[in-house]
Amino acid sequence: MSVPKNRGILIAGNWKMNHGPAETQKFFAELEAAWPSLPDHSGQALASDQLQVCLFTPTLSLQAACAARGKLPVHVGAQNAHWERSGAFTGEISGPMLRQVQVGSVLLGHSERRQHFGETDEGVRRRTVSLLEQEFFVMACIGETLAERQGGQTRAVLERQLSGLFPETGSQSGAARFLGSRLVLAYEPVWAIGTGVTATPEQAEEAHLMVRDFLDRQCGPETARKSMILYGGSVTPENIDSLLAREGVDGVLVGGASLKPQGFLALVAAGARAVGSKPA
C-alpha cells in the first residue's frame, strides 16, 4: 500500500480484539459474496488506487485474513509491532514476523495502546521509524482525551504527539521522509472512540487543519500537502459521507462499524463516492 500523488481516500477498519481466525474466515467469505453489490465506480476507484482499503486484524487472525481475502482488494495489517526485529520482548511481534505471513501494513500508537498499555510518544516514534525503515506501510494514531479538549488543550496535545513522531524539522528527517508515501496519520479523538459520539465534521476538519499546520511548520509545505490524515471515532455508514466531504479528511479509521461485512462494504462504497468529489 502507498499514498497516491493526490492523496485519494483510504478506508481502514480496526478490529481491535475482535474476530479470531474462524470469524475472520467467515467475514471474508461474506464480504466476497457481497462485493459485487458495490457500484461500478468503486471498482474503478480501487483499480486506479484512488481508493484503498485496509483491515487491521488481531495478530492471530492475520494469516486467516491473508488467505481468506483471496482476490479482494483489501490490504491486511497488524495492530502493533515492536521496533526490534527479534529478542526478549514477551508478547510482542516484529516486522520480520509480519513479512513471513505477507503482511505489509501496521497500525501504531492507537490511543488504546497509549491509555491501557502505557505506550509513550517516544515508544510510538521508535516503532514508527523502525517499521518504516523495514518498508512497512504505517498508520500512526494521535488524538486528545475529553478532558484535554474541554481544557482547550486539543492543539497542544496534538502538537506534543506530533513532535514525538517528528522531533526534528525538515522533510527528510526521521519518519517525516515517509509522509506522502508509506506513513499516514489517523486523528482519533479519544472521546469519540467507541462512544457513539462522533466529532462533528467541523471538529474533524478543524483538528485535521491543526495537524496539517504542524506538518507545514515542522516538515515543510510540500510534505504537509501530500500527507494523508484519516479521521477515526464512531464512524458509521450513516455519518461517513459528511466526514469525508470535509477538507483535509483523507479517509477514516473505523472500529465497531468495520466488524460486519455489510457495514464495512457500505464504508467502502462511501469511500468510492468521495473519490473525485473533493478538493485536495
Choosing from 112, 119, 188, 205, which is the catalytic residue?
188
The answer to whether 190 and 144 have CB atoms below 8 angstroms apart is yes
Task: Out of 104, 109, 164, 232, point to the residue binding ligand 13P (CB under 6 A).
Answer: 232
Q: Give residues with Cβ within 8 angstroms of 90, minimum separation 6.
A: none
In DSSP notation, 88-152 reads S-TT---HHHHHHTT--EEEE--HHHHHHH---HHHHHHHHHHHHHTT-EEEEEE---HHHHHTT
Q: Nearer to ligand 13P by C-beta: 158 or 224?
A: 158
**Residue 240 touching ligand 13P (CB under 6 A):** no
Helices (H) and strands (E) in the chain, counts: 12, 8
Piece of the chain touching ligand 13P by CB under 6 A; list 98-106, 150-158, 248-256, 270-278: 248-256
C-alpha cell at 59: 495478530
Instruction: Report in angstroms how near the CB of residue 36 gets to ligand 13P at its nearest.
Output: 26
188 catalytic, yes or no? yes
Whole-number Å distance between alpha carbons of 101 and 93 = 12
Piece of the chain touching ligand 13P by CB under 6 A; list 44-52, 154-162, 213-221, 252-260: 252-260
Piece of the chain touching ligand 13P by CB under 6 A; list 34-42, 151-159, 160-168, 231-239: 231-239
Site string for ligand 13P, 71-110 (x = CB under 6 A): ---------------------------------------x
Q: Give residues with Cβ within 8 angstroms of 174, minimum separation 6.
A: 125, 129, 165, 166, 167, 168
Q: Which of 139, 120, 136 is nearest to 231 (CA)?
A: 139
Task: Out of 109, 251, 256, 261, point to the residue binding ligand 13P (CB under 6 A).
Answer: 256
Choosing from 110, 112, 144, 148, which is the catalytic residue?
110
Q: Nearer to ligand 13P by C-beta: 199 or 269?
A: 199
Task: Out of 188, 208, 261, 268, point to the residue binding ligand 13P (CB under 6 A).
Answer: 188
**Residue 265 touching ligand 13P (CB under 6 A):** no
Total Cβ atoms within 10 A of residue 114: 19
The answer to whether 183 and 215 have CB atoms below 8 angstroms apart is no
Q: Nearer to ligand 13P by C-beta: 46 or 254?
A: 254
| Stretch 110-169 residues interacting with ligand 13P (CB under 6 A) | 110
75 catalytic, yes or no? no
Q: Nearer to ligand 13P by C-beta: 86 or 262?
A: 262
Whole-number Å distance between alpha carbons of 214 and 227 = 12
Q: Nearer to ligand 13P by C-beta: 98 or 107?
A: 107
**Residue 261 touching ligand 13P (CB under 6 A):** no
Dihedral sign of CA atoms 18, 22, 24, 28 in order: negative
First to last CA, the chain: 20
Residues that bind ligand 13P in the complex, under the rule CB under 6 A: 14, 110, 188, 193-194, 232-235, 253-257
Catalytic positions: 110, 188
